[in-house]
Chains A and B, each alone.
Chain A
Amino acid sequence: MVNGYAAASLREALEIRASRDVVPYAGGTDLMIENRKGVRYLFLNKVPELKAVAVDDRYVRIGAAVTFTEALACPDVPRLMKEALSRIAAPAIRNAGTFGGNLGNGSAKADTALIEVAADGKVCLASAEGGRVVDVDKFYLGRKKLDLADNELITEILLPKKGLEQYSYEKVGGREALAISRVSFAGVFAAENGKITNIAAAFGAVADTILRYKDIEAMLLGKTVQEAKGLKADYLNAYAQRMTLTRGRVSAEYRKRVCMNLLNGFLTKFGI
Chain B
Amino acid sequence: MDGIRFTLNGTEVTYGGNATDRLLDVLRDSYHCTSVKCGCKEGECGACAALIDGVLYNSCCVALGAVSGASVVTMEGFRETERFTALEKAFGEFSAVQCGFCIPGMTLAAEALLSKNPHPTEEEIREGLSGNLCRCTGYNAIVNAVANAAREGDGLW
Taking Cβ atoms with an 8 Å cutoff, the residues of A that contact B are 1-6, 25, 27-29, 31-33, 39-41, 43, 45-46, 69, 89-93, 95-96, 176
Question: CB distance A92 to B20 under 8 Å?
Answer: no
* Chain B residues, Cβ within 8 Å of A31: 63
Contact of B62 among A4, A5, A28, A40 (CB under 8 A): A28
* Chain B residues, Cβ within 8 Å of A46: 69
Question: CB distance B57 to A3 under 8 Å?
Answer: no
CB distance from B39 to the nearest CB of A (A): 13
Q: How far is the CA of A4 from the CA of B57 in the complex (A)?
A: 20
Q: How far is the CA of A91 from the CA of B46 in the complex (A)?
A: 10
Question: CB distance B22 to A4 under 8 Å?
Answer: no
Question: CB distance A4 to B43 under 8 Å?
Answer: no
Q: Quick one: given A45-B66, A92-B56, are A29 and B16 in contact (CB under 8 Å)?
A: no
Q: Quick one: given A1-B68, A43-B66, are A93 and B20 in contact (CB under 8 Å)?
A: no
Q: Quick one: given A92-B58, A93-B131, are A33 and B65 in contact (CB under 8 Å)?
A: no
Question: CB distance A4 to B131 under 8 Å?
Answer: no
Q: How far is the CA of A193 from the CA of B79 in the complex (A)?
A: 63
Question: CB distance B44 to A2 under 8 Å?
Answer: no
Question: CB distance A1 to B19 under 8 Å?
Answer: yes
Mostly, the A contact residues are mixed
* Contact sample, A vs B, 24 pairs, CB 8 Å cutoff: A1-B4, A1-B64, A1-B65, A2-B16, A3-B18, A4-B4, A4-B63, A25-B63, A25-B65, A25-B66, A28-B62, A29-B61, A32-B60, A32-B61, A33-B61, A41-B65, A43-B66, A69-B55, A91-B56, A91-B109, A91-B113, A92-B56, A93-B61, A176-B44
Question: CB distance A91 to B128 under 8 Å?
Answer: yes
Q: How far is the CA of A92 from the CA of B1 in the complex (A)?
A: 31
A28-B61, A43-B63 given; name 4 further pairs at CB < 8 Å: A4-B18, A29-B61, A90-B130, A92-B46
Within residues 1 to 53 of chain B, which ones have a CB less than 8 A from any CB in chain A?
A: 1-4, 16-20, 22, 41-44, 46, 49
Question: CB distance B65 to A43 under 8 Å?
Answer: yes
A38 closest partner in B (C-beta): B20
Q: How far is the CA of A95 from the CA of B56 in the complex (A)?
A: 7
Q: How far is the CA of A30 from the CA of B62 in the complex (A)?
A: 10
Asked if B112 is at the interface (CB within 8 A of a chain A CB), the reply is yes
Q: How far is the CA of A28 from the CA of B42 in the complex (A)?
A: 11
* Chain A residues, Cβ within 8 Å of B16: 2
* Chain A residues, Cβ within 8 Å of B1: 1-2
A86 closest partner in B (C-beta): B127
Contact of A96 among B3, B61, B65, B112 (CB under 8 A): B61
